[in-house]
Protein backbone atom coordinates (compact mmCIF):
# COMPACT_ATOMS: atom_id res chain seq x y z
CA UNK A 1 0.00 0.00 0.00
CA UNK A 2 2.80 2.40 0.83
CA UNK A 3 5.80 3.23 -1.28
CA UNK A 4 8.62 0.85 -0.41
CA UNK A 5 11.14 1.70 -3.17
CA UNK A 6 12.77 4.50 -1.13
CA UNK A 7 15.63 2.44 0.26
CA UNK A 8 18.06 3.78 -2.37
CA UNK A 9 17.46 7.38 -1.29
CA UNK A 10 15.29 8.55 -4.14
CA UNK A 11 15.27 12.29 -3.79
CA UNK A 12 12.31 14.51 -4.52
CA UNK A 13 12.40 18.03 -5.79
CA UNK A 14 10.20 21.05 -6.11
CA UNK A 15 11.04 24.22 -8.03
CA UNK A 16 13.73 25.31 -5.58
CA UNK A 17 15.11 22.34 -3.71
CA UNK A 18 16.01 18.66 -3.98
CA UNK A 19 15.34 16.82 -0.75
CA UNK A 20 14.76 13.69 1.25
CA UNK A 21 13.26 14.61 4.63
CA UNK A 22 11.85 11.58 6.40
CA UNK A 23 10.31 11.83 9.87
CA UNK A 24 8.96 9.37 12.41
CA UNK A 25 5.93 11.07 13.99
CA UNK A 26 3.87 9.90 16.99
CA UNK A 27 0.93 11.55 18.74
CA UNK A 28 -1.79 10.53 21.17
CA UNK A 29 -5.43 11.24 21.92
CA UNK A 30 -6.07 13.49 24.90
CA UNK A 31 -5.41 11.63 28.19
CA UNK A 32 -4.00 8.78 26.04
CA UNK A 33 -7.50 7.32 25.85
CA UNK A 34 -7.80 4.10 23.84
CA UNK A 35 -10.38 5.46 21.39
CA UNK A 36 -8.58 4.73 18.08
CA UNK A 37 -10.22 1.36 17.46
CA UNK A 38 -12.64 -0.23 14.98
CA UNK A 39 -14.39 2.18 12.62
CA UNK A 40 -12.70 5.20 14.23
CA UNK A 41 -9.24 3.79 13.46
CA UNK A 42 -10.26 2.87 9.91
CA UNK A 43 -11.69 6.34 9.27
CA UNK A 44 -8.63 7.99 10.82
CA UNK A 45 -6.39 6.07 8.41
CA UNK A 46 -8.48 7.31 5.46
CA UNK A 47 -8.39 10.90 6.72
CA UNK A 48 -4.62 10.84 7.22
CA UNK A 49 -4.15 9.45 3.70
CA UNK A 50 -6.47 12.10 2.19
CA UNK A 51 -4.76 14.94 4.03
CA UNK A 52 -1.30 13.75 3.06
CA UNK A 53 -2.29 13.53 -0.61
CA UNK A 54 -3.63 17.09 -0.45
CA UNK A 55 -0.39 18.30 1.18
CA UNK A 56 1.93 16.29 -1.10
CA UNK A 57 3.26 14.46 1.96
CA UNK A 58 4.27 10.86 1.31
CA UNK A 59 3.29 8.22 3.87
CA UNK A 60 5.98 5.56 4.00
CA UNK A 61 4.40 3.68 6.89
CA UNK A 62 1.38 4.14 9.17
CA UNK A 63 0.06 2.30 12.20
CA UNK A 64 -2.96 3.31 14.24
CA UNK A 65 -2.78 2.00 17.80
CA UNK A 66 -5.68 2.30 20.29
CA UNK A 67 -3.93 5.14 22.13
CA UNK A 68 -1.46 6.61 19.62
CA UNK A 69 -0.59 7.09 15.96
CA UNK A 70 2.75 6.22 14.27
CA UNK A 71 3.62 7.72 10.91
CA UNK A 72 6.73 7.62 8.76
CA UNK A 73 6.44 10.67 6.50
CA UNK A 74 8.47 12.25 3.73
CA UNK A 75 7.81 16.00 3.89
CA UNK A 76 8.91 18.90 1.69
CA UNK A 77 11.23 20.95 3.95
CA UNK A 78 9.73 24.20 2.64
CA UNK A 79 6.35 23.08 3.95
CA UNK A 80 7.68 21.60 7.17
CA UNK A 81 6.83 18.63 9.35
CA UNK A 82 5.22 20.77 12.06
CA UNK A 83 2.75 22.29 9.61
CA UNK A 84 2.01 18.86 8.09
CA UNK A 85 1.31 17.27 11.49
CA UNK A 86 -0.82 20.24 12.57
CA UNK A 87 -2.96 19.94 9.42
CA UNK A 88 -3.30 16.15 9.74
CA UNK A 89 -4.33 16.39 13.40
CA UNK A 90 -6.71 19.32 12.78
CA UNK A 91 -8.50 17.80 9.81
CA UNK A 92 -8.80 14.36 11.39
CA UNK A 93 -10.06 15.73 14.71
CA UNK A 94 -12.72 17.86 13.06
CA UNK A 95 -14.12 15.05 10.90
CA UNK A 96 -13.85 12.28 13.50
CA UNK A 97 -15.64 14.34 16.16
CA UNK A 98 -18.43 15.11 13.67
CA UNK A 99 -18.84 11.50 12.58
CA UNK A 100 -18.32 9.78 15.96
CA UNK A 101 -20.23 11.63 18.67
CA UNK A 102 -18.73 9.44 21.41
CA UNK A 103 -15.46 11.31 20.84
CA UNK A 104 -17.12 14.58 21.88
CA UNK A 105 -18.52 13.15 25.11
CA UNK A 106 -15.34 11.33 26.21
CA UNK A 107 -12.78 14.02 25.36
CA UNK A 108 -12.68 17.83 25.40
CA UNK A 109 -10.41 17.67 22.32
CA UNK A 110 -9.37 14.60 20.34
CA UNK A 111 -5.60 15.14 20.27
CA UNK A 112 -3.04 16.38 22.76
CA UNK A 113 -1.23 19.56 21.72
CA UNK A 114 2.09 17.74 21.59
CA UNK A 115 3.68 15.14 19.35
CA UNK A 116 6.99 13.31 18.93
CA UNK A 117 9.00 13.99 15.77
CA UNK A 118 12.34 12.42 14.92
CA UNK A 119 14.36 12.59 11.73
CA UNK A 120 15.34 9.19 10.42
CA UNK A 121 18.18 10.21 8.14
CA UNK A 122 20.72 8.05 9.97
CA UNK A 123 18.55 4.97 10.45
CA UNK A 124 17.73 2.65 7.56
CA UNK A 125 14.10 3.22 6.55
CA UNK A 126 13.43 -0.52 6.66
CA UNK A 127 14.41 -0.58 10.36
CA UNK A 128 11.98 2.23 11.19
CA UNK A 129 9.22 0.60 9.12
CA UNK A 130 9.72 -2.71 10.95
CA UNK A 131 9.56 -0.90 14.30
CA UNK A 132 6.27 0.79 13.37
CA UNK A 133 4.80 -2.48 12.09
CA UNK A 134 5.92 -4.29 15.25
CA UNK A 135 3.94 -1.89 17.44
CA UNK A 136 0.68 -3.60 16.49
CA UNK A 137 1.92 -7.08 17.38
CA UNK A 138 3.65 -6.00 20.61
CA UNK A 139 0.40 -4.45 21.89
CA UNK A 140 -1.44 -7.78 21.49
CA UNK A 141 0.91 -9.66 23.83
Question: pLDDT tens, 50-76?
Answer: 999 999 999 999 999 999 999 999 999
pLDDT more than 70, % of the chain: 89
Classified as helix, coil or strand, 117 is: strand
13 in any annotated domain: no
CATH of the domain at 102: 3.30.70.1290
5 in any annotated domain: no
- Quote the number of domains for the chain: 1
d(Cα 117, Cα 121) in Å, to the nearest integer? 13
125 in any annotated domain: yes
108 in any annotated domain: yes
Q: What is the dihedral of CA 140, 125, 36, 81, to 10 degrees?
A: 160
Q: What is the pLDDT of residue 12?
A: 83
Query: Are the C-beta atoms of residues 30 and 110 closer than 8 Å to each other?
Result: yes
**Which residues are designated catalytic?**
131
Q: What's the distance, Cα to Cα, between the start and end of the chain in Å?
A: 26
Amino acid sequence: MYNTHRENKNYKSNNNITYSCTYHVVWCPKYRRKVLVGPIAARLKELIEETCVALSVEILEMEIMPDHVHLLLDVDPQFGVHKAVKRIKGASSRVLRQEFKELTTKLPTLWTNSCFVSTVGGAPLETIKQYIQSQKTSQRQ
